[in-house]
Amino acid sequence: MTIHIRQEELNDNHIVYDLIKSAFESAEHSDGDEQNLVNRLRTSESFIPELSLVAVENDTIIGHILFTKLFIADYDTKYESLGLAPLAVSPDHQNKGVGGKLINEGLKVAKELGYRSAIVLGSEKYYPRFGFLEAKNFEIKPPFEVPSENFMAIELVENSLENVNGIVVYPKEFFEQ
């Protein structure tokens, strides 16, 4: 299986929408709105086109990942970071390494673009493989109740979260429906 990772293009939007919807239909933790979230984020100030990536096999999109800007805020200090959400792989390509390729490429591009960290709310069994640690290790807190082991952060630049602490401020699009 040869997989190519590239930036999402405008004419991919409807394919990505359907892919995300089908990928999350049977997900254990899903609100069923992930595909609409991506549409909202694409038109937001938080959107970074270079960090909306698709995995392609034989000219077919089989996966998608999105990183958008967010902030870690502590009183009057705001630190820019990225939020990884969502990661979607078509059901017939799950558990074959597609998600891992998207994560690795996304983190690489994010670092090349000058971003220093990323946050994810996800599986404590999956994301640590890529270097994510519980955000509480960095004194970073979620803005809502969530198990600590599922709220994670990664430093894209060594020690970039050393003096950063506070509550993650997601773009407003995460809370709209």
Q: Check residue 6 and give left, alpha or beta (phi > 0: left; psi -120 to 50: alpha).
A: beta
Q: What is the pLDDT of residues 8-18, one digit of tens each?
A: 999 999 999 99
Residue-range domains of the chain with CATH: 4-175 (3.40.630.30)
Q: What is the pLDDT of residues 124-143, one digit of tens each?
A: 999 999 999 999 999 999 99
Tell me the C-alpha distance between 92 and 26, whole Å: 12
Residue 31 confidence class, pLDDT cut points 50, 70, 90: confident
DSSP for residue 37: H
Residue 118 near residue 65 (C-beta atoms within 8 A): no
Tell me the C-alpha distance between 113 and 116, whole Å: 9
> Residue 55 is inside which H or E element, if any?
strand 47-57
Tell me the C-alpha distance between 59 and 28, whole Å: 29
DSSP for residue 161: T
Question: pTM value?
Answer: 0.95
Q: What is the pLDDT of residues 63-93, one digit of tens each?
A: 999 999 999 999 889 999 999 999 999 999 9
List the beta strands (DSSP E) in 95-165.
Answer: 117-121, 133-134, 140-141, 151-155
